[in-house]
Structure 1
């Protein structure tokens, strides 16, 4: 019996899975190409906050060219927050790059707050930011949950969108959630799946999202923390073709993990606050984006947001372009995906 099958409880399960995946990544690092194609590191020329409700204050930043072509970056999760690397998909001599942390995420306050936190709240936050900056129309860039939000925004405010750059398409249908959180990805990452499921009793395993939601909204701080670590570790362990030990380690950061896990579970428990399953892919909704230039970048081996959703969207959306990256999973930080996203942003410089 191998060492990975020896457990002493849920905490040991989580540690073992992260260790195995981390070692796997370390062993393959020597064979990984450096991530090429991103623009150089830059610092913001403007940072601030915007009060968007009685509860929520959003952090935002601007970088690149102050009078340049505006682009807004929509981060994933929900609950993931932004990072300095997110500025680097865009030519800073051309683009005015707007990043913000969504409600409860990153540097926005209060952290991990679920009240007044729905898809439609954030859609209107994007509009409030656009008006705050005096921008007429902008390019909208979003991956994973960011693609969900970008589609929601474009279908609600199509006249404010110059173009869409989307990655790792996620429309929050039940079958997409079930594939990742119930049965599907588990077949490919059994050691990480064991750690993820070990937190939940057998009697509740018919609905992991609900079981985790109950724990992530518990009054018991220790229970919340343990559930947040397990939920977050599962996602970061499966998001790249080659697991990233630094990303896996991030899941042990209590503040980040709690915001990420709580907000994700909140949205997924409530089906994204959409009126119907499959809402974003309905013909009537797709028609609202007619004429908006769009590029879809999809990792062929994405097991978080499988390629079938991107393909369905592309087939329904006349004029959209789709690019499958053959040596990538879900992460925007994988070389092939990063390069294609930069290429898409470069393409829209002339709009």
Structure 2
């Protein structure tokens, strides 16, 4: 079977800035076919923003590709702002963008944190969703947060773990996440920047099956490292602002009628496969592709293949 690759690069045909309240303005790009099938790309992070490669998972002749940057992320302003920045603000922003762009309903496409927000949005507005394509599932449960930031992943990445915890005094390492958050959101800019560098390196080295120097350099870039790390920690310490650990699992019944494809790397370090498995046990109608030779990144060949195959299949349907 031929392995599918990304579509050719495509430039946006429109860009918008929408005032969503609370001093926030969100940036939105549109690419592809203005009369095509509407799809919203829900980016990860939170706090990471969008990049040109994200437009390339869709046939530009068949899709109207809508790429919003979430509050505080990318070109949305103010960068890194934590006030009035919760999952439910982001859900409301997506719904506002949909209305402002005159879209009746759209396909939801997201990975990692984008799978979290995509599920939250779909469960809040199921009538505005035509289907979901989700990758690297993250439900922000305590077990998942502990795996990444406290006890679990350090067993697989011991040398990188030492780099990650180095900025935190030993006496505070019983709650590394909160210790980081105090520093990232604190007033000492030098300490915050040092912690941001270590935090984002930890995120980067665990986002691919093997370390990607380019990704590490990108995620630790001077202009974005602190805002991105602050927002990530903000959402993590607050458990994604969900009312219960299993809120997204318990809400699946609201969207089980929608076509859904879930794509998961077998060796995903930051979003372990058990989470995707738990989701599909509650959602047996969804199609699960467990990619045997992949980690977390959407750009690993097996993940890319299934994402492109899924968007093509949805367009044909």
Task: Give how far 1:189 is off.
Answer: 1.1
What per-residue deviation string (whole Å, max 9, x for no partner) do you get for residues 225-257 of structure 1?
Answer: 111111000010111111100111123313221
What per-residue deviation string (whole Å, max 9, x for no partner) do you get for residues 60-106 of structure 1?
Answer: 10000011000000000111110000000000000000001100001
User: How far apart, in 2, do the equivalents of 1:225 and 1:36 lie?
Assistant: 39
TM-score normalised to structure 1 length: 0.88
Residue 106 (structure 2) pairs with residue 138 (structure 1): yes
User: How far apart, in 2, do the equivalents of 1:57 and 1:159 lie?
Assistant: 26
State whether residues 104 and 110 of structure 1, in contact with CA within 8 Å, keep that contact through their aligned partners in structure 2. yes
Q: How does 1:250-265 map to 2 (within 5 A)?
A: 250-265=218-233
User: How far apart, in 2, do the equivalents of 1:255 and 1:175 lie?
Assistant: 32
Match of 2:87 among 119, 137, 157: 119
Task: Give how far 1:223 is off.
Answer: 0.9
Q: How does 1:1-351 map to 2 (within 5 A)?
A: 37-282=5-250, 285-351=251-317
User: How far apart, in 1, do the equivalents of 2:175 and 2:307 lie?
Assistant: 35
Aligned length: 315
State whether residues 4 and 308 of structure 2, in contact with CA within 8 Å, keep that contact through their aligned partners in structure 1. no
User: How far apart, in 2, do the equivalents of 1:278 and 1:78 lie?
Assistant: 19
User: How far apart, in 2, do the equivalents of 1:194 and 1:249 lie?
Assistant: 19
Task: Give how far 1:258 is off.
Answer: 1.2
Q: 2:312 aligns to what SS in structure 1?
A: helix
User: How far apart, in 1, do the equivalents of 2:101 and 2:116 lie?
Assistant: 23
Q: 1:206 aligns to what SS in structure 2?
A: helix
User: How far apart, in 1, do the equivalents of 2:219 and 2:66 lie?
Assistant: 26
1:3 matched to which residue of 2?
Answer: none
State whether residues 120 and 248 of structure 2, in contact with CA within 8 Å, keep that contact through their aligned partners in structure 1. yes
Task: Give how far 1:58 is off.
Answer: 0.5
User: How far apart, in 1, do the equivalents of 2:220 and 2:63 lie?
Assistant: 35
State whether residues 314 and 322 of structure 1, in contact with CA within 8 Å, keep that contact through their aligned partners in structure 2. yes
1:16 matched to which residue of 2?
Answer: none
User: How far apart, in 1, do the equivalents of 2:292 and 2:61 lie?
Assistant: 31
1:5 matched to which residue of 2?
Answer: none
TM-score normalised to structure 2 length: 0.98
What per-residue deviation string (whole Å, max 9, x for no partner) do you get for residues 191-250 of structure 1?
Answer: 111000001000110111100000001111111111111100001011111110011112
User: How far apart, in 2, do the equivalents of 1:246 and 1:208 lie?
Assistant: 27
Task: Give how far 1:36 is off.
Answer: 5.5
User: How far apart, in 2, do the equivalents of 1:36 and 1:191 lie?
Assistant: 35
User: How far apart, in 2, do the equivalents of 1:146 and 1:323 lie?
Assistant: 17
Runs of 4 or more consecutive aligned structure 1 residues displaced over 6 Å after TM superposition: none
State whether residues 225 and 254 of structure 1, in contact with CA within 8 Å, keep that contact through their aligned partners in structure 2. no
User: How far apart, in 2, do the equivalents of 1:90 and 1:277 lie?
Assistant: 33
User: How far apart, in 2, do the equivalents of 1:239 and 1:246 lie?
Assistant: 12
Q: 2:130 aligns to what SS in structure 1?
A: strand
